[in-house]
């Protein structure tokens, strides 16, 4: 996949890579749908005001305008391409609340656009896959649990290798910071969120310089961030740090994270770790926060992230709390394709290439192909009656595994051009081996 692009930041897959992408998208759809999530697609454009209300990302937004403006242009709302699926989803919920049954469960797989500087793993146009559960006024915590379990199962179903869900709870973190005397919890969460990028020393110094924290408070914040457990034992470690002074908010966070870890270990064992360094810098997260590390590709950062939000979507006094996670599909795929870890077994869906003995045989060859297609076997027909050697070479270049021949007496034979084996066949009942019916996505573990 390492090819020069004519326009940087915009990825175009070759056919074999596109087959891999489609397999990933179809797998995600299947897992989401068997867990009861409905498919949703929102428009590509939103008003600039809608996109800017939930974050300071104005420099990354692509504005949309017409080449030929008219006198009404100044009165119309400024439009821009969506930079994620969450903000458009919040707008969709508020506009369509009267037509939705809550809790509303949706998945959304669409392109998004960001005006970032293109670099390895970062694109200006890319696909994201989101799942969310949104309530009307209230949303049970068990929805946090379900979202995490479903996403873990979706990632397990993909041929991506080992991964870990790193989970935390903002209530736990905020309660702890207040307990040690730091009240600007939103600011400290944003600083702690930089821990893996800038290291503990610079995080501590920034807490001191920016928030006026004492060295002891900064060290306590780092002590919390260093807690990582594969079970519920993190709770005891947190209590050791604060002693008897456990606030209601801290206790609520401990309880929720303990329940989440317990359910994850029961339903997707070995996939989660309680990592109290996870903060998620966006202010709208209010409880559960999750980031996902792909083993062997830690340089990608989080390939799947999200969490709980209480008021991302609202309409007057009506509030729609929710919880959601998002996979950066393009980011994930580009890394695995570039490393050679993922590949399709062939570059086309075609299983059989039906050859021609003469130009007049084209109609009969189409009849053969249609019989195969009626039984779910992908087939295509030669366009001209070239020498059989050329027709076979063409099929081989296309990656088609089988070539079909019909003689003057109407007898049929099919050849596996990989092995050279050729045998009698009939379009009404011949079928390829199950593994050849559709392209297979191969994960080459020897490259890991």
**Residue ranges of the binding site:** 84-86, 114, 128, 132, 280, 284-285
Residues 194 and 302: their CA atoms lie apart, in Å, by 13
**Closest C-alpha to 350, from 417, 438, 441:** 438
Binding-site residues for L-histidine, in ranges, read 84-86, 114, 128, 132, 280, 284-285
Q: How far apart are CA 168 and CA 163, in angstroms?
A: 16
> Could you report how far apart the first and last alpha carbons of the chain are, in Å?
17
Count Cβ atoms below 10 Å from residue 254 Cβ, excluding itself. Answer: 22
Half-sphere exposure of 217 (CA within 13 A, CB side): 20
According to the 3-state scheme, what is the secondary structure of the chain?
CCCCCCCCCECCCCHHHHHHHHHHHHHHHHHHHHCCCEECCCCCEEEHHHHHCCCCCHHHCCEECCCCCCCCHHHCCCEEECCCCHHHHHHHHHHHHHHCCCCEEEEEEEEEECCCCCECCECCEEEEEEEEEECCCCCCCHHHHHHHHHHHHHHHHCCCCCEEEEEEEHHHHHHHHHHCCCCCHHHHHHHHCCHHHHCHHHHHHHHHHHHCCCHHHHHHHHHHHCCEECCCCHHHHHHHHHCCCCCHHHHHHHHHHHHHHHHHHHHCCCCEEEECCCCCCCCCEEEEEEEEEECCCHHHCEEEEEEEEEEEEEECCEEEEEEEEEEEHHHHHHHHHHCCCEEECCCCCCCEEECCCCHHHHHHHHHHHHHHHHCCCCEEECCCCCCHHHHHHHHHHHCCCEEEEECCCCCEEEEECCCCCEEEECCCCCCCCHHHHCCCEEECHHHC
CA distance 251 to 321: 21
């Amino acid at each position: 996949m390492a090819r020069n692009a004519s326009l940087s930041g915009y990825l175009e897959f070759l056919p074999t890579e596109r087959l891999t992408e489609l397999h990933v998208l179809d797998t995600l759809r299947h897992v989401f749908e068997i867990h009861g999530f409905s498919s949703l697609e929102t428009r590509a454009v939103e008003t600039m005001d809608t996109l800017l209300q939930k974050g300071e990302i104005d420099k990354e937004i692509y504005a949309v305008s017409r080449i030929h403006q008219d006198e009404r242009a100044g009165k119309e709302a400024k439009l821009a391409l969506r930079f994620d699926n969450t903000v458009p989803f919040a707008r969709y919920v508020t506009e369509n609340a009267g037509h939705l049954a809550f809790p509303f469960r949706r998945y959304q797989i669409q392109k998004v656009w960001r005006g970032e500087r293109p670099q390895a793993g970062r694109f200006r146009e890319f696909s994201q896959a989101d799942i969310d559960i949104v309530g009307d006024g209230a949303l049970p915590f068990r929805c946090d649990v379900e979202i995490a379990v479903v996403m873990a199962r979706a990632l397990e179903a993909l041929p991506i290798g080992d991964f870990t869900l790193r989970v935390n709870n903002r209530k736990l973190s905020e309660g702890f910071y207040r307990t040690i005397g730091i009240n600007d919890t939103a600011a400290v969460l944003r600083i702690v969120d930089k821990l893996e990028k800038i290291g503990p020393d610079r995080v501590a110094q920034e807490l001191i310089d920016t928030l006026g924290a004492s060295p002891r408070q900064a060290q306590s914040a780092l002590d919390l961030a260093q807690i990582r457990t594969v079970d519920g034992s993190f709770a005891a470690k947190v209590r050791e740090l604060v002693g008897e002074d456990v606030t209601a908010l801290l206790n609520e966070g401990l309880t929720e994270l303990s329940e989440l870890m317990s359910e994850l270990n029961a339903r997707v064992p070995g996939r989660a770790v309680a990592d109290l360094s996870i903060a998620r810098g966006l202010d709208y997260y209010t409880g559960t926060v999750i980031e996902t590390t792909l083993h062997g590709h830690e340089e990608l950062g989080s390939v799947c992230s999200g969490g709980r939000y209480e008021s991302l979507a609202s309409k007057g006094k009506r509030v729609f709390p929710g919880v959601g996670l998002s996979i950066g599909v393009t980011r994930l795929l580009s890394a695995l394709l570039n490393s050679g870890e993922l590949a399709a077994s062939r570059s086309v869906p075609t299983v059989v290439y039906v050859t021609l003995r003469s130009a007049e045989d084209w109609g009969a060859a189409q009849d053969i192909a249609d019989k195969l297609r009626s039984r779910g076997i992908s087939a295509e027909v030669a366009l001209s009656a070239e020498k059989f050697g050329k027709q076979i070479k063409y099929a081989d270049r296309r990656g088609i595994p089988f070539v079909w021949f019909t003689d003057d007496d109407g007898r049929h034979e099919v050849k596996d051009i990989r092995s050279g084996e050729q045998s009698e066949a009939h379009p009404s009942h011949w079928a390829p081996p199950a593994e050849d019916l559709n392209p297979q996505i191969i994960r080459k573990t020897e490259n890991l």
